[in-house]
Amino acid sequence: MSEVSMSVNGRTARGVVEGRTMLVDFLREGLGLTGTHVGCDTTQCGACVVHVNGLPMKSCTMLALQCEGADVTTIEGLAANGAPLHPMQAAFREHHALQCGYCTSGMVMMAVDIARRIGEPDEATIREELKGNICRCTGYHHIVEAIAAGAKAMALPQT
Amino acid sequence: MLLAGGQTLLRDMKHGRHSPTSLVDITGVVPRQIERRGDAMSIGAGVTHTEVASSATLRRHLPVLADLVGHIGDPAVRNRGTLGGALAANEPAGDYPAACLALGAAIHTTGRTIAASEFFVGDRRTALESGEIVIGATFPITERAGYVKFLNPAARYAMVGVFAAVTGEGRPRVAVTGARTNGAFRWWEVESALATAFTPRGLNDARLSLEGLIEDLFADAAYRAHLAGVLARRAVALAAGPAPGVMVLSHGSRSRTEVVHA
């Protein structure tokens, strides 16, 4: 067992983990942040995407110990409890971009990164960038619409 | 075992393919530079796929490699996966091994320099010895290079990919990935057919022999043998044409000439 310390959603998080503990298990079981999901556990589905030092990564395929000192943001960190939703979360709700919701936190975390990197991507670009996020119930139509709308909202000057 | 970005090794450990008693994360100590060295591009083993795909200097001198790497996995995987990890993993459908073989790359380790043609030696196996670490690779610069891959419809890795290139000494090289259980390989028959003229016209009968081909629920051996020939013609046409680079095809690709740039 080893000690690990990182910043999660702006707060210092410490824990004692096994060497083999994946980041997603530390977040869910160690910190109780169950918004990040495990779908396939084989690095394909993207339900576990979180941001590590500002970049989206699959938290089922990195060790908690590799995040020592890192700055991690999960879906819970996008908007404070009770505060208005992040523009991308709001766009997913507005455009009915979820059915069961299992993939949604990973989708939103990837979508926020897409918007930050590309600005306002076209449909083909959104679909290409979403290659690593799989939804097994809605199909992607509304998700793609939501990301376009969310990216547009993120590009507006913040009031 | 040594751990780089972990996008292959950690997944394989979950599948029980590896059960190391200890893991050493080497990402903090391997080189991370991308720079031009004479007629080649040098990339450090610790450089992530995202960094390779977005490197301005690589996009200027060897854009086909930046484009190829920009289509490995997905954005989240590219933020973790590294050159050194991809080479050491030598996955049978890996994109980097095809690029290394077709461009005639040299792979640098803690002990020596190994030609790509001697580095990849079988299914997920390399010439690396115990404790030997990949520290980088150099890729000869060329404008005549094309990589065409046809995606697995579910997981989106190369069901077959073909990389065709002509480097400095004028010799064509053609490498295939995703087709054989033993991993990427040079397609000697196609290279011979291209020796007189680097054009797809002489490749109308190109077809892999069925021996050793991957068979799965997506494609049997005959399908892959045929697909490799189609992709070889397209890769050579792409490399010899006005806009060399990378073409990604899948079921439902609308156009015969659909070219995707990262």
Query: In three state form, how does the secondary structure of chain B look?
Result: CEECCCCCHHHHHHCCCCCCCCCEECCCCCCCCEEEECCEEEEECCCEHHHHHCCHHHHHHCHHHHHHHCCCCCHHHHCCCEHHHHHHHCCCCCHHHHHHHHHCCEEEECCCEEEHHHHEEECCEECCCCCCCEEEEEEECCCCEEEEEEECCCCCCEEEEEEEEECCCCCEEEEEECCECCCCEECHHHHHHHCCCCCHHHHCCCCCCCCCECCCCCCCHHHHHHHHHHHHHHHHHHHHCCCCEEEEECCCCCCCCCCCCC
In chain A, which residues have their Cβ closer than 8 Å to the Cβ of B155? 44
Domain limits, CATH 3.30.465.10, in chain B? 2-6+26-140
- Say what the pTM is: 0.95
Same structural domain, A121 and A63: no
Based on the domain organization, do A71 and A111 belong to the same domain?
no
- The backbone torsions φ and ψ at residue B252, rounded to the nearest 5 degrees and listed phi first, read 90, 0
For residue A37, is it within any domain? yes
pLDDT score recorded for residue B153: 87
Note whether residue A123 is domain-resident. yes
Looking at residue B253, its pLDDT comes to 74
CATH code of residue A12: 3.10.20.30
Tens digit of pLDDT for each residue in A22-71?
Answer: 999 999 999 999 999 999 988 999 999 999 999 999 999 999 999 999 99
For residue B41, the model assigns a pLDDT of 98
Interface test with B, best of A45, A58, A59, A108 (most B CBs within 10 A): A58
Q: Which of B80, B246, B248 to mutate to test the interface with A (most CBs of A within 10 A)?
A: B80
When divided into structural domains, chain A yields a total of: 2
User: Which of A19, A58, A66 is facing B76, going by the closest CB pair?
Assistant: A58
Backbone angles phi, psi at B28, to 5 degrees: -80, -10
A62 to B74: CB separation less than 8 angstroms, yes or no = no
pLDDT value of residue B261: 45
The pLDDT assigned to B255 comes to 52
CATH of domain B145-249: 3.30.390.50
Q: Are B189 and B206 in contact (CB under 8 A)?
A: yes
B75/A66 CB distance under 8 A: no
Q: Are residues A99 and A39 in the same domain?
A: no
pLDDT number for residue B33: 98
Residue A57 phi/psi, 5-degree rounding, is: -145, 160
One pLDDT digit (tens) per residue for chain B, 262 residues: 999 999 999 999 999 999 999 999 999 999 999 999 999 999 999 999 999 999 999 999 999 999 999 999 999 999 999 999 999 999 999 999 999 999 999 999 999 999 999 999 999 999 999 999 999 999 999 999 999 999 998 888 999 999 999 998 788 999 999 999 999 999 999 999 999 999 999 999 999 999 999 999 999 999 999 999 999 999 999 999 999 999 999 987 765 444 444 3
- Residue A113 at interface with chain B, using a CB cutoff of 8 Å: yes
Question: Residue A129 sits in which domain range?
Answer: 87-155
- Domain match, A92 and A61 both: no
The CATH number that applies at residue A119 is 1.10.150.120
Regarding whether A62 and A17 lie in a shared domain, the answer is yes
Q: Which fold has domain B2-6+26-140?
A: 3.30.465
From the list A19, A66, A132, the residue facing B74 with the nearest CB is: A132
Q: What is the mean pLDDT of chain A?
A: 96
> Is residue A10 located within the same domain as residue A69?
yes
Specify whether A29 is located in the same domain as A64: yes
Residues of B in contact with A42 (CB under 8 A): 11, 14-15
- Pair (A67, A94) in one structural domain: no
Q: Do A110 and A121 form a contact (C-beta atoms < 8 A)?
A: no
Nearest-by-CA chain B residue for A45:
B155
Name which of B6, B155, B260 is nearest A44 (Cβ-Cβ). Answer: B155
* Comma-separated ranges of CATH 3.30.390.50 domains in chain B: 145-249
Instruction: Report the percentage of chain A scoring pLDDT > 90.
Output: 92
**pLDDT score, position A47:** 98
Task: Tell me, yes or no, whether A60 and A94 share the same domain.
Answer: no
Structural domain includes residue A81? no
What is the rounded average pLDDT of the residues A75-79? 97
User: Is the same domain home to A91 and A72?
Assistant: no
Residue B169: the pLDDT is 79
pLDDT of residue A159: 58
Interface of B with A in 112-141 (CB under 8 A): none
Asked if residue A16 and residue A60 are part of one domain, the reply reads yes
